[in-house]
């Protein structure tokens, strides 16, 4: 067993920071005593840590989770680009079972942290929209896969870069994403064509919008359809972010600044 211990010791030697994902209080207090600064990454700061990165979604993909935490920690100045970082996280279920060593600059910035925290829309709104898209992707409309496009934030500009395909069902309503009934409504309206427009504070401004931004110079992976192209283009033309549920492959993708920043498989959530 000593070889294993050595291996683990090698992994954890000379690190500049420790990222603890959803630690219990006892784990946090144990690590707090060490030399390297501890950063807690969790949905809520239950342990009352000084260095804390909020995790808006339980990313099931480990790489996405680490990426998000690293970008958040760099943004907050907890780690530098050249730092060696050890991440302790639970890959299978809640308790910490995995230790990963990475260099903070190893990943190119994907902007996934940026997507939540530095968008025009509030982080909670981006999260709620992703939740709705994931939910929609999981269940579909009456068992059939559906596609949907949500433009989130900078609603005034998005409205001016689009035109109505039909009457707006959300006219004079005050519905916000995250309201309990809203998932059902969005599910119903997702059979309509066009995009949903959501304001910075999460108000659903309109459905049935035909986005017409200029798609010039939008670089998204080949093979994605017109819906994704429209999403990429609208985020390049405005300060909105776009969340797309693909009808063909069922993936949820988020765009910002004309680029694909996040890809999630609804089945995993």
**Residue 125 falls in which region: left (phi positive, over 0), alpha (psi -120 to 50) or beta:** alpha
Specify whether the CB–CB gap between 17 and 78 falls below 8 A: yes
The distance of closest approach from Cβ of residue 157 to another protein in the complex, given in angstroms and rounded to an integer, is 6
Specify whether the CB–CB gap between 155 and 199 falls below 8 A: yes
Q: What is the 3-state secondary structure (H, E, C) of 74-123?
A: HHHCCCCCCCEEEEEECCCCCCCCEEEEEECCCCCCCCHHHHHHCCCCCH
- Judged by CB under 8 A, the stretch of 50-58, 130-138, 156-164, 251-259 that binds another protein is 156-164
* Residues in CB range of 255: below 8 A, 6 or more apart: 220, 228, 231, 232, 235, 241, 242, 243, 244, 261
Residue 143: CB atoms within 10 Å: 6
Q: Is 160 in the site for another protein (CB under 8 A)?
A: yes
How many whole angstroms separate alpha carbon 228 and alpha carbon 230?
5
CB of 201 or CB of 214, closer to another protein: 201
Q: Is 172 in the site for another protein (CB under 8 A)?
A: yes
Specify whether the CB–CB gap between 53 and 41 falls below 8 A: yes
Q: Is 54 in the site for another protein (CB under 8 A)?
A: no
Work out which of 71, 83, 131, 154 binds another protein, going by CB under 8 A.
154
Q: Is 48 in the site for another protein (CB under 8 A)?
A: no
CB of 49 or CB of 88, closer to another protein: 49
CB of 147 or CB of 151, closer to another protein: 151
Work out which of 142, 144, 174, 222 binds another protein, going by CB under 8 A.
174
CB of 18 or CB of 47, closer to another protein: 47
- Judged by CB under 8 A, the stretch of 49-57, 96-104, 194-202, 246-254 that binds another protein is 194-202
Q: Is 201 in the site for another protein (CB under 8 A)?
A: yes
Q: Is 205 in the site for another protein (CB under 8 A)?
A: yes
Helix (H) or strand (E) holding 41: strand 38-42
CB of 144 or CB of 172, closer to another protein: 172
Residue 258: CB atoms within 10 Å: 19
- Counting residues that bind another protein (by CB under 8 A) gives 15
CB of 171 or CB of 249, closer to another protein: 171
Q: Is 176 in the site for another protein (CB under 8 A)?
A: no
CB of 138 or CB of 203, closer to another protein: 203
How many whole angstroms separate alpha carbon 23 and alpha carbon 5?
22
Specify whether the CB–CB gap between 47 and 25 falls below 8 A: yes
In angstroms, how far is CA 65 from the centroid of its own chain? 10
- Judged by CB under 8 A, the stretch of 9-17, 37-45, 47-55, 196-204 that binds another protein is 196-204
CB of 158 or CB of 186, closer to another protein: 158
- Judged by CB under 8 A, the stretch of 11-19, 43-51, 183-191, 201-209 that binds another protein is 201-209
- Could you tell me the strand order of the sheet in which 38-42 lies? 52-54, 38-42, 17-21, 84-89, 98-103
- Chain residues binding another protein by CB under 8 A are 154-160, 172, 174, 197, 199-201, 203, 205
């Amino acid at each position: 067993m000593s070889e294993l211990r050595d291996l683990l010791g090698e992994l954890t030697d000379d690190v500049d920071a420790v990222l603890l994902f959803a630690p219990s209080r006892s784990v946090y207090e144990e690590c707090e005593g060490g030399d390297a600064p501890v950063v807690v990454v969790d949905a809520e700061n239950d342990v009352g840590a000084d260095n804390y990165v909020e995790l808006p979604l339980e990313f099931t993909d480990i790489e996405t989770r680490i990426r998000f935490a690293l970008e958040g920690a760099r943004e907050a100045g907890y780690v530098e680009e050249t730092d060696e970082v050890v991440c302790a996280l639970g890959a299978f279920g809640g308790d910490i079972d995995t230790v990963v060593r990475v260099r903070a600059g190893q990943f190119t910035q994907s902007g996934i942290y940026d997507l939540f925290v530095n968008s025009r829309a509030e982080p909670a709104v981006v999260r709620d929209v992703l939740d709705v898209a994931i939910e929609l992707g999981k269940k579909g409309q009456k068992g059939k896969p559906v596609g949907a496009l949500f433009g989130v934030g900078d609603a005034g500009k998005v409205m001016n870069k689009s035109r109505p395909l039909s009457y707006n069902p959300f006219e004079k309503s005050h519905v916000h994403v995250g309201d309990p009934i809203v998932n059902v409504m969005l599910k119903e309206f997702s059979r309509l064509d066009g995009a949903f427009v959501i304001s910075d504070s999460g108000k659903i401004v309109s459905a049935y919008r035909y986005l017409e931004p200029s798609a010039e110079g939008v670089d998204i992976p080949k093979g994605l359809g017109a819906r994704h192209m429209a999403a990429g283009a609208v985020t390049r033309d405005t300060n909105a972010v776009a969340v797309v549920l693909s009808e063909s492959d069922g993936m949820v993708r988020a765009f910002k600044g004309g680029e694909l920043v996040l890809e999630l498989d609804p089945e995993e959530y």
